[in-house]
Amino acid sequence: MTLIQTQPRPAGANPAHRTAVEGMDEAEPQVCDDMSVEVALAVMAAARTGRLVVCDQDDQCTGLVTRTELAAVRDSSGYTDRVRLRDILGDHGSFASPLTTMAEAGQAMRSRRLGVLPVVDEQGSGLGILALSR
């Protein structure tokens, strides 16, 4: 897991230095990493979302999956119903701290080619999502 964390800013900080917690969207649905791909796709359909935050047994964020990624896994030749989200997470272990500035999060997302970045608290629990504007 890569946590992008910065030093706290003074209370009257410049609006250009907004923090991740000030700029994040509401948290996406969170699911456990032992969930199957089919169930995760059903959860996405029911929640009308294109992504899910994935957590481990200790409720710590471990990554994020998208509908496109899950559909590709399901349609692959090696797919079985035993494939779990933890098996396909890949390199989705980047997270932002609530104190990360929007500028720093945006730069990290662009350099890592991430469209979204979960914001997690000090215990690793999901707080919300940052998304690059198009």
pTM assigned to the model: 0.71
Structural domain that includes position 23: 18-131
Q: How far is CA 66 from CA 6, 102, 115, in A?
A: 27, 22, 11
| Tens-level pLDDT at each residue, the chain (134 residues) | 444 444 444 445 554 578 877 777 776 788 999 999 999 999 999 999 988 889 889 888 888 888 999 999 999 998 999 999 999 986 556 788 888 888 888 888 888 888 888 888 888 888 888 887 65
Place of tokens 């997690």: 120
Domain tally for the chain?
A: 1
As a whole number of angstroms, the distance between CA 46 and CA 44 comes to 5
Structure tokens at 16: 């250009």
Q: Is residue 107 in a domain?
A: yes
pLDDT at 90 (0 to 100): 65
pLDDT at 29 (0 to 100): 86
Q: Is residue 77 in a domain?
A: yes
Domain of residue 61, CATH code: 3.10.580.10
